[in-house]
């Protein structure tokens, strides 16, 4: 067990030791640890050793900067120089809020970036201002076309932050049957993969976690899930880019650690009041209430925001992850 404060300090210290500037390391550390707070361990501290290795190898250049490509007011296109995605997308999310306050809508993209962890985190700045935020991203190809056997799409994650009451709804999901980080966690522990989640590199169903990690993932919901994943890839990979998932280097392949992933991220921020006044917020809350009254659970309604998370909150992190992070850091 480790507290949020201890985990955040550890992650920040290791990121700085790998070469990341302190302020960016702290933002990235908070995002990484919050994924563990939310129970998304596949995108939390488990990923940190891979981030550190890529930073040291140049796959996530520590000196990367965000550069403006296009700025029309409500639309801002940024380029990230291949850097770690956490701090880059957090800055983009904060910028989207500023522009949404002015225009009622904002779209901010980050091209040529790196993995950003749990995508739902980047809806938090919008939720703090009462805005809806949609988020899209891509990554290494692990999903074949429906009926195919060659990977062409990533897990194609999609997220949305909805300002419902009494708690906001944070939808965050991969459009594959499972997030790839969960496969990596199963491979680390040697735990079999549930049937229906994955295919090996030849396109055969498998429960072997190692074969699944270096193979492919099934789409969520069959052909319809693949269609949704295709939409995400079209926005994040094709429109933002520059890399389609089919050419994104694999974070879990050691021999590719020095190659920037050049991932695309897209955020769209909306002010509900500009569409329907205060009644829009009332309807959002009514929607959440009807789900609760109907015996259901509002998606992501139990996720603590960073400012709500006690520093002493205990995290359950696999022992082998903490052991690996406890090793003396190497110099960049």
Three-class DSSP category at 119: helix
Both tokens of 45, joined, read 């501290």
Which residue in the block uniquely carries the two structure tokens 């997308």? Answer: 89
The residue range of the domain holding 225 is: 2-176+219-276+301-325
Rg (CA), the chain: 19
Q: Dihedral sign, CA of 135, 141, 142, 144?
A: positive
Structural domain contains residue 291: no
CA distance 207 to 108: 39
304 exposure class (CB count in 10 Å sphere: 0-12, 13-18, 19+): middle
Residue 329: what pLDDT? Answer: 60
Structural domain contains residue 207: no
> What is the distance, to the nearest Å, from the Cα of residue 330 to the centroid of all Cα atoms in its chain?
26
Residue 330: what pLDDT? Answer: 57
CA distance 70 to 272: 25
Both tokens of 149, joined, read 């056997």
CA distance 164 to 294: 16
Structural domain contains residue 147: yes
Structural domain contains residue 191: no
Distant-in-sequence contacts of 279-284, Cβ < 8 A, 24+ apart: 281/130, 281/163, 281/165, 284/162, 284/163, 284/164, 284/165
CB crowding 271-280: b at 16 or more within 10 Å, else e: bbeeeeeeeb
Q: Using an 8 Å Cβ cutoff, are 228 and 175 in contact?
A: yes
Question: How many domains in the chain?
Answer: 1
Structural domain contains residue 38: yes
CATH for 318: 3.30.1370.60
Structural domain contains residue 159: yes
DSSP annotation of 261 reads: -
13 exposure class (CB count in 10 Å sphere: 0-12, 13-18, 19+): middle
Q: What share of the chain is helix, strand, coil (3-state, %, to 5)?
A: 45, 15, 40
Structural domain contains residue 42: yes
pLDDT in tens, the chain (332 residues): 899 999 999 999 999 999 999 999 999 999 999 999 999 998 999 999 999 999 999 999 999 999 999 999 999 999 999 999 999 999 999 999 999 999 999 999 999 999 999 999 999 999 999 999 999 999 999 998 887 888 999 999 999 999 999 999 999 999 887 777 788 888 878 899 888 788 887 778 888 988 888 788 878 888 898 999 999 999 999 999 999 999 999 999 999 999 999 999 999 999 999 999 999 999 999 999 999 999 999 999 999 999 999 999 999 888 888 988 988 665 54
Structural domain contains residue 284: no
CA distance 68 to 109: 10
Measured in Å, how far apart are the chain's first and last C-alpha atoms?
29
User: Is residue 110 within a helix (H) or strand (E), and if so which, with residue range?
Assistant: strand 105-113
Q: Using an 8 Å Cβ cutoff, are 155 and 143 in contact?
A: yes
pTM (2 d.p.): 0.91
CA distance 229 to 214: 20
Q: State the Cα angle at 59 between 55 and 62, rounded to 5°.
A: 40
CA distance 300 to 223: 25
């Amino acid at each position: 067990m480790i507290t949020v404060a201890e985990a955040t300090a550890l992650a920040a210290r290791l990121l700085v030791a790998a070469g990341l500037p302190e302020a960016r390391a702290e933002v990235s550390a908070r995002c990484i640890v919050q994924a563990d707070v939310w129970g998304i361990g596949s995108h939390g501290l488990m990923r940190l050793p891979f981030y550190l290795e890529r930073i040291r190898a140049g796959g996530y250049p520590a000196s990367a900067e965000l550069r403006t490509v296009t700025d029309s007011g409500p639309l801002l296109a940024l380029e990230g120089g291949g850097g770690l995605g956490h701090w880059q997308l957090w800055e983009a999310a904060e910028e989207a809020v500023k522009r949404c306050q002015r225009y009622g809508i904002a779209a901010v993209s980050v091209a040529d970036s790196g993995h950003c962890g749990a995508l739902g985190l980047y809806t938090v700045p919008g939720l703090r201002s009462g805005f809806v935020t949609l988020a899209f991203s891509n990554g290494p190809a692990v999903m074949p076309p429906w009926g195919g056997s060659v990977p062409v799409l990533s897990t194609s994650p999609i997220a949305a932050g909805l300002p419902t009451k009494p708690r906001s709804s944070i939808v965050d999901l991969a459009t594959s049957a499972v997030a790839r980080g969960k496969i990596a966690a199963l491979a680390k522990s040697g735990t079999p993969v549930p049937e229906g989640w994955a295919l090996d590199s030849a396109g055969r169903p498998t429960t072997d976690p190692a074969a699944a990690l270096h193979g492919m993932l099934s789409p969520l919901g069959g052909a319809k899930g693949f269609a949704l994943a295709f939409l995400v890839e079209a926005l994040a990979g094709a429109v933002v880019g520059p890399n389609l998932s089919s050419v994104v280097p694999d974070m879990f392949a050691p021999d590719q650690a020095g190659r920037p992933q050049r991932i695309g991220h897209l955020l769209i921020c909306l002010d509900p009041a500009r569409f329907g006044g205060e009644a829009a917020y009332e309807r959002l809350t009514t929607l959440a209430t009807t789900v609760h009254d109907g015996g259901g659970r509002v998606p992501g309604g139990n996720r603590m925001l960073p400012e709500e998370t006690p520093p002493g909150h205990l995290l359950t992190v696999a022992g082998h992850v903490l052991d690996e992070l406890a090793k003396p850091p190497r110099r960049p």
